[in-house]
């Protein structure tokens, strides 16, 4: 038991929807706790992605308490309580106690353990990582830590609750969650976790493709995309999940612990400056960035072409205006990217227009190949020592949605290119509003090729 005030944990950081759910259940006489990653993030002074609650109430009692509530999940049922547009997840001690899969018969309960302690301890023992095995009672202002999570937070370590090899065999999706957590918090793996990750790497290929897409979205859409890509590359997982991008890293001469950057990392670093754990983007944005970058890898382009293309996407297809604006750009581009050529001989608007249309076709071709197992499987063919992967986890429906981001360029619709640096509409960014995604894509590309910091230094 730890005093939450001593840990610097403030109840004011709990969102209104989570507080409402906590208060309503407590009014009915049930015990309630915040549990998992939200407690960890509050201790670290980070914004939680969401707030999870566990209660002594049965799920059917939670269902009766809130007018907009539903029980989801067959194997491990929980309640989704809808408060406005926010979903608060509520689990029950009685439900989690019935979960099968982990043998507690040889595990001794904590010394001098009462009934309440036993329930909390047993629930925390079922968690994936020690830093997720924390419970916070906001009314008594007590944090319960049975797994050594606070010590691992102090050490900046990701450690499994049970031995890592057993934990990952029990649920191989935890491997991807380990990458996501380590990347977001800038934590490192314990030795046994790092060893087990490498040993059991191929097991993630057995996961449902929808689950892989969900985990990749958590890595790339919530503000830690660059760190996630670096970590996946360091441990050899980029070859399994994104072989095309892994091949690019190899072509750039990137070492596993390389601290340099490249254009792919720079694009996602720019994305990270826009999104946060509680203000993410739709997955169509980062898929579009992958396709756009791959098109430039295949055929590098003049920076004016890239600028005009992004401006055209921004406006929904106003090619003439995009060309006129791009012609007037006097900012220096980043010369370190192999995918960006030195300004060439695009003397006429006609030649520039042709290059823009050609780039749009290249992006669409890159998108199509992302769905071709045969193409993906050949991405690392020059490197036979790399693990084989023909994984295509991006659905056809998602690819079609991404295609709409760029098809406006070839159609040449009229639009207005608004000023750079306009405010981000996060309410439409997460659900994937086409106009918002287009504007964010253009902003990311422009700020990567023409970095504001570089321009300020030169100015």
Q: Are 54 and 90 in contact (CB under 8 A)?
A: yes
Specify the pLDDT at position 459.
46
Q: How far apart are CA 312 and CA 323, in angstroms?
A: 8
Specify the pLDDT at position 150.
97
Q: How far apart are CA 350 and CA 426, in angstroms?
A: 37
Domains (ranges, CATH) in the chain?
2-155 (3.30.460.10), 267-449 (no CATH)
Q: Where are the alpha helices (DSSP H) in 299-430?
A: 303-315, 319-327, 349-370, 373-377, 396-411, 426-429
DSSP label at 279? B
Please give the angle made by the CA atoms of 360, 364 and 369, to the nearest 5 degrees: 145
Specify the pLDDT at position 373.
94
Per-residue pLDDT tens listing for the chain (459 residues):
999 999 999 888 999 999 999 999 999 999 999 999 999 999 999 999 899 999 999 999 999 999 999 999 887 899 999 999 899 999 999 886 555 455 554 555 556 667 888 889 988 998 999 999 999 999 999 999 999 999 999 999 999 999 999 999 999 999 999 999 999 999 999 999 999 999 999 999 999 999 999 999 999 999 999 999 999 999 999 999 999 999 999 999 999 999 999 999 999 999 999 999 999 999 999 999 999 999 999 999 999 999 999 999 999 888 888 999 999 998 999 999 999 999 887 778 888 999 999 999 999 999 999 999 999 999 988 888 888 899 999 999 999 999 999 999 977 655 555 555 568 899 999 999 999 999 999 999 999 999 987 655 554
Specify the pLDDT at position 74.
80
Q: How far apart are CA 12 and CA 3, in angstroms?
A: 16
Q: Are 92 and 108 in contact (CB under 8 A)?
A: no
The three-state secondary structure class of 32 is strand
Q: Give the global pTM.
A: 0.92
Rg (CA), the chain: 24
Specify the pLDDT at position 410.
78
């Amino acid at each position: 038991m730890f005093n939450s005030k001593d840990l610097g944990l403030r109840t004011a950081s709990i969102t209104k929807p989570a507080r409402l759910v906590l208060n309503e259940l407590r009014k009915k006489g049930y015990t309630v706790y915040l549990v998992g990653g939200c407690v960890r993030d509050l201790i670290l002074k980070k914004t939680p992605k969401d707030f999870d609650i566990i209660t002594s109430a049965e799920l059917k009692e939670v269902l009766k308490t809130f007018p907009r509530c539903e029980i989801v999940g067959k194997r491990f049922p929980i309640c989704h309580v809808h408060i406005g547009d926010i979903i608060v997840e509520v689990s029950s001690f009685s439900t989690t106690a019935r979960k099968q899969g982990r043998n507690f018969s040889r595990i001794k309960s904590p010394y001098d353990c009462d009934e309440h302690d036993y329930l909390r301890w047993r629930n925390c023992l079922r968690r994936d990582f020690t830093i997720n095995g924390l419970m916070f009672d906001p009314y008594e202002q007590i944090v319960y830590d049975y797994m050594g999570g606070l010590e691992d937070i102090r050490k900046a370590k990701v450690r499994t609750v049970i031995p890592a090899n057993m934990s990952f065999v029990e649920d191989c999706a935890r491997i991807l969650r380990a990458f996501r957590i380590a990347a977001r918090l800038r934590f490192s793996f314990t030795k046994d976790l790092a060893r087990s990750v490498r040993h059991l790497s191929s097991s993630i290929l057995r996961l449902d493709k929808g689950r892989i897409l969900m985990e990749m979205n958590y890595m790339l859409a919530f503000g830690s995309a660059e760190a996630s890509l670096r970590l996946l590359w360091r441990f050899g997982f980029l070859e399994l999940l994104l072989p095309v991008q892994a091949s690019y890293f190899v072509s750039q001469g990137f070492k596993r612990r390389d601290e340099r950057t490249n254009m792919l990392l720079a694009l996602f670093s720019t994305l990270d400056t826009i999104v946060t754990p509680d203000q993410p983007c739709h997955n169509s944005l980062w898929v579009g960035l992958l396709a756009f970058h791959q098109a430039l890898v295949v055929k590098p382009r003049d920076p004016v072409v890239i600028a005009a293309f992004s401006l055209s996407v921004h406006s929904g297809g106003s090619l003439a205006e995009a060309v006129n604006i791009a012609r007037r750009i006097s900012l220096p581009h980043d010369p370190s990217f192999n995918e960006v050529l030195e300004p060439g001989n695009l003397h006429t608007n006609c030649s520039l227009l042709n290059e823009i249309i050609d780039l749009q076709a290249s992006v669409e071709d890159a998108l199509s190949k992302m769905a071709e197992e045969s193409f993906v499987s050949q991405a690392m063919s020059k490197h036979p020592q790399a693990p084989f992967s023909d994984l295509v986890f991006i659905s056809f429906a998602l690819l079609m949605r991404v295609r709409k981001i760029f098809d406006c360029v070839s159609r040449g619709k009229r639009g207005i290119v608004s000023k750079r640096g306009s405010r981000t509409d996060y309410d439409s960014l997460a659900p994937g509003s086409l106009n918002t995604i287009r504007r964010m894509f253009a902003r990311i590309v422009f700020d990567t090729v023409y970095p504001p910091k570089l321009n300020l230094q030169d100015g």
